[in-house]
Amino acid sequence: MAIDESELFEAVELEMSSAFRRRLERDLRAAASLTLEHESGPPVTPARVMADPTTRRQTWVTASAAALVIAATVGITAIRFHEKPSLGRSPSPRTVLTSTATSPTTSPPAPGTKSGVPTTTATSPIAATGWTAVDLGTDSVVAAAFQQVTGDGPLFAWTSDLRASPEVASELYRSTDGTSWTQVPIPSGFSIVAATATSTHVTLLGFVLPGDAIAAAEVVAMLSDDAGSTWRTVPFDVTLPQRKAPGATLVRPATALIATHGTTVVASFSTADMWDSAPDVTFDSAGRVLPVERPLYVSVDDQPFQTVVAGDLPAGPGPTVALSVSNGQFLALATPPSAGNSEPAVLWQSDDGHTWTSLGSLPTAVPGATIGKIGDRYVVVPLCCAQSAWISADGAQWRSANFGDLPVDAQPDSLHSALAVIDPNGITVAGMYLATNSKDVDYAKDGVIERLVGGKLSDLVFLDQGTGTELGRVTTTPFDNGSVRALGDGKIDILDAEGNVRTSFTPDELTGAINAAASNPPPPVGVILHSDDGDTWTSASINAIAGGSPTGVSWIQSTGTLTTVGAFVSTESETAPTHLVVMVGHEHT
Amino acid sequence: MVIETDASKRYSVTTPEGVIDFFRHVSSDVHRYVSRLTGGDRQLTEDIVQDAFFSLVRQSQSGLLLEVEPGWIMTTARNRFIDHVRSVDREHRRLDAYQCTFGDGAARGWRDTEAGVLSADRASALLAALPEQERWAMSLQVVDELSVAEVAALLGRSVEATTSLLARARRRLRTIVEADDGD
């Protein structure tokens, strides 16, 4: 019998199951709602990221940051631009962002800021450390896209107005107090993808576009030892695919991780092709295709970055989901190369960035995370959807460190956009809980109301629309009380007195009702969590500190003397629905 | 590849509603397409479809992806499939455990085939008789109608190695069918 190969593959074609469709639509809606609600905001983390953890922000701290304590006052100051920043090799800062208030405790809200911002001490323990809210507003590129710089300081932030053009270069800003930001010149045409700052080095990872419109973008790191006054370039041993036609496609680093210790820099990045069909591939200097799994690269003493090869990393790192320096050692968290979406991540450690040792696996998969150490203990804070951090003495045996009591009505496993600082003295996490929509959802059809009790698919009550009489309540299947019949295939039949089907409710109708209700969910609850030891946690409300509900957490940084958290906060203004608010927590003195 | 939706229509994905609207219009086609690539592996199909749509969300949040056509998600899904193939390929090479499942239950499935009629179960069984690398290389060539050189480029293999891979796949299929016909 001859083989028709086309028929062979057509025959195995599968229809999407209703259950998968519903679950994926729900997850996509949650992710998109978190990321897209503020059009002018920076990218924030999807609610759920599966196989490819290309979207995450992370931070790590190698030293310091004492416990956060002390009495707090919460005030709002306004930041404004005095001058539009410009790119170039200007020898001096061109733009200064200045607070209009000299004292956050006494200044009135600036024009345009949301009224009703709390000005009294918050009640939660960590709020007593002195969180000051600073509203950066919405009218600047900085407010639109301030991005995190990892490391133990000083405070830097960067921005790329990608909405204007995928090829736009970046701007770098520095602050000493989190409230005033000064632009730091960087080489013209350099676009930042990731950045880290320590007391001695500022390192930027990004790309430079070539003069030839169809040539490949050049991946480079920019290093500075003098806080950005001068920069030097360190190239990578990779070449991205070129664009296929002038201006057609830009393959560039999409997300990246970077960590420095001394003169050693370890980095990892993914590539993205925004419109065309080129896969996520990079090539080494010999023209060989490199894994798509975002290998690690290492540079020492400004030498070009080299790929950490399998010989040094026996099983291969797999997609790197976290990278940091702690106690002078590099730490990397990576998903096994051959893993699917749910394989536990593996912890790797290296003294020099070249040779890595696998310490063990986490009990669970983490699509993105912050990794660090408290003393001798390893700590991992998942980026998304976690209720606890993970702590281990050896990297092999892990225990969960529960974040503590959740805000009322928050979903139990849904701390999103969880950015963290981990240092020898504690863990500070900023994130958002998605509040549960606990209202009943009604859907009427053919004189019958289908009520999703508490908005849940698992508790359905059917009512006669005319009389209000309860016809049946379905919590498990199969179910059949003579009036309501659910056989477990998703469809629910309503029967008349003779046992004939009066009407039926389909899974799609249920999904539609849920979606309609989900279109107006309760506002998220933002929290800043802190624990000295991973066991006892305190929390402060971002909603209370910032005076609004957060739509995304954009960064967390710590310098040892202060901690800053950046979040987008929704307002009631129709013209400026979200503001970027920086919350500054001062160390106790 | 047949896309039943309007392949030229562009969808705005700057809002959650836009993303969901796009998902509802194209997800079935994407699922069917990916299922062919995977040879009917439902779990792998769902993983790839899910990842492709989350990629859409991620790129939307970057601000670069304002509108999208169905072809974009198809291409993204195919790239994710290729990522998976490469990843598994590397693991196989590392472990030197290239296992061939030829001749077991899959062949029995083919023997049940009635002349001229190929059921989904029997096609799945036949494709399952192929080692993954052979099956996936063949799916790219057949489903996407790619040349050997194109398949080789996508999989990161030489043209010679890919030619050999595809030849082995066809030889293996032919052997199974001939064995069935002989029974």
- Write the pLDDT tens digit of every residue in B76-125: 788 778 777 766 655 444 333 222 222 222 222 232 333 344 667 777 77
CB distance B63–A162 less than 8 Å? yes
**Interface list for A 434-493 with B (CB within 8 A):** none
Q: Does residue A125 contact residue A114 with C-beta atoms inside 8 Å?
A: no
**Interface list for A 66-125 with B (CB within 8 A):** none
Report the gap between the CA of A479 and the closest CA in chain B (Å): 29
Which of B87, B154, B162, B176 to mutate to probe the A interface, most A CBs <10 Å?
B87
Query: What is d(CA A209, CA A240) in angstroms, rounded to the nearest whole number?
Result: 11
- How far is Cα of residue A569 from the mean position of the Cα atoms in its chain? 16
Structure token pair of residue A318: 């797999």
Q: Measured between CB atoms, which of A31, A44, A166 is closest to B54?
A: A31
CB distance B51–A51 less than 8 Å? yes
Per-residue burial over A242-260, b = 16 or more CB atoms within 10 Å of its CB, e = otherwise: bbeeeeebbbbbbbbbbbb
Query: Is B39 near chain A, with CB under 8 Å?
Result: yes
Structure token pair of residue A538: 């305190």
Sheet of A492-495: strand order equals A479-480, A484-486, A492-495, A501-505
SS3 content of chain A, % helix, strand, coil (to 5): 10, 40, 50
Per residue in A541-558, pLDDT tens? 888 888 888 877 878 888
Q: Does residue B122 contact residue B113 with C-beta atoms inside 8 Å?
A: yes
Residue A130: the pLDDT is: 67
Report the gap between the CA of A170 and the closest CA in chain B (Å): 14
CB distance B139–A9 less than 8 Å? yes
CB distance A12–B142 less than 8 Å? no
Band the pLDDT of A192: cuts 50, 70, 90: confident
A chain contacts of residue B20, beta-carbon cutoff 8 Å: 25, 28-29, 32, 515
Structure token pair of residue B168: 């082995």
Structure token pair of residue A510: 């249920």
Report the gap between the CA of B49 and the closest CA in chain A (Å): 9
Query: Is B79 near chain A, with CB under 8 Å?
Result: yes
Report the gap between the CA of B5 and the closest CA in chain A (Å): 15
Which of A12, A146, A161, A416 to mutate to probe the B interface, most B CBs <10 Å?
A12
β-pairing, A484-486 with A492-495? antiparallel
Q: Measured between CB atoms, which of B23, B87, B143 is closest to A293?
A: B87
Give which of A249, B126, B139, A240 is closest to B151, Cα–Cα: B139
* Helix or strand (DSSP H, E) at B163: helix B159-182
Worst-scoring range by mean pLDDT, A193-202, A380-389, A448-457, A506-515? A506-515
Q: What are phi and psi of A200, to 5 degrees?
A: -115, -20
B chain contacts of residue A50, beta-carbon cutoff 8 Å: 47, 50-51, 54
- How far is Cα of residue A506 from the mean position of the Cα atoms in its chain? 35
Query: What is d(CA A131, CA A583) in angstroms, rounded to the nearest whole number?
Result: 6
Give which of B77, B86, B75, B53 is closest to A318, Cα–Cα: B86
Amino acid (one-letter) located at A276: D
Amino acid (one-letter) located at A367: P
Query: Is A51 near chain B, with CB under 8 Å?
Result: yes
Q: Could you identify the residue written with the tokens 């609600």? A: A37
Per residue in A305-357, pLDDT tens? 988 865 445 445 567 788 999 988 999 988 765 544 457 888 989 999 888 88
Residue B165: the pLDDT is: 81
Rg (CA), chain B: 18
CB atoms within 10 A of CB A71: 10
Query: What dihedral do alpha carbons A556, A560, A562, A567 form, nearest 10°?
Result: 0
A chain contacts of residue B17, beta-carbon cutoff 8 Å: 519
Structure token pair of residue A194: 């990731």
Q: Measured between CB atoms, which of B20, B40, B177 is closest to A28?
A: B20
Give the pTM: 0.54
Burial bucket for residue B145 (CB in 10 Å: 0-12, 13-18, 19+):
exposed
β-pairing, A346-350 with A356-361? antiparallel
Q: Does residue A54 contact residue A254 with C-beta atoms inside 8 Å?
A: yes
* Helix or strand (DSSP H, E) at B90: helix B70-95
Amino acid (one-letter) located at B154: L
Give which of A368, A364, A388, A392 is closest to A379, Cα–Cα: A392
Band the pLDDT of A203: cuts 50, 70, 90: very high
Query: Is A309 near chain B, with CB under 8 Å?
Result: no
Average pLDDT over all residues of chain A = 68
Residue A233: the pLDDT is: 93
Query: What is d(CA A244, CA A572) in angstroms, rounded to the nearest whole number?
Result: 45
